[in-house]
Amino acid sequence: MKSVPVRRAFSWIGLFLVLVLMEFSCARQPANLAQIQQQRSGDHVVTLLNDTGVVKQRSNKLVLEFRNASTNELANVGNVQIQASMRMPGMGPMFGNISSTRALGQGRYEFDADFSMAGQWNFLVTFDPMGRVQFNLNAQ
């Protein structure tokens, strides 16, 4: 009968190892992200990042990073809003599809962006308190 507690212990250890491996495989490490552009707004430095450092036509997974400009520490900001538009000569602007931001931790927000055409996109980011930056991105 000693094998039942041993088997149960190994089951718990196995479950624990699977959960730990899942956590590490699903976590996006900011050190693996490449900078696309960086702008300053008041007391914050805002950096746009992704896996390649290049924005492409169609689907993109992007990360915004907010840092205190004087200490360089990650800074939480509230209510991050993002708009993407492309000027269309002789017509109204075209808008990119931007998902809601998802907090990745202190000062980092992930979102999805879909640019239907290659070319120059204006990317406006607003955040609390009273912050605003604009990135000019070239989707390839």
Domain-embedded: residue 52: yes
Instruction: Give the pLDDT band of residue 28 (cuts 50, 70, 90).
Output: very low
Q: What is the mean pLDDT of residues 46-64?
A: 96
Domain-embedded: residue 80: yes
Half-sphere exposure (Cβ direction) of 55: Cα atoms closer than 13 Å: 26
Instruction: Give the pLDDT band of residue 53 (cuts 50, 70, 90).
Output: very high
Domain-embedded: residue 18: no
Residues 6+ apart with CB under 8 A from 90: none
Cα dist from 75 to 37, 44, 78, 126, whole Å: 18, 8, 10, 15
What share of the chain has pLDDT > 70, as a percent?
A: 79
Domain-embedded: residue 2: no
Count of structural domains within the chain: 1
What residues make up the domain containing 99? 31-139
Domain-embedded: residue 126: yes
Residue 111 is part of a domain; what is its CATH number?
2.60.40.10
Predicted TM-score (pTM) of this structure: 0.76
Domain-embedded: residue 4: no
Domain-embedded: residue 93: yes
Domain-embedded: residue 20: no
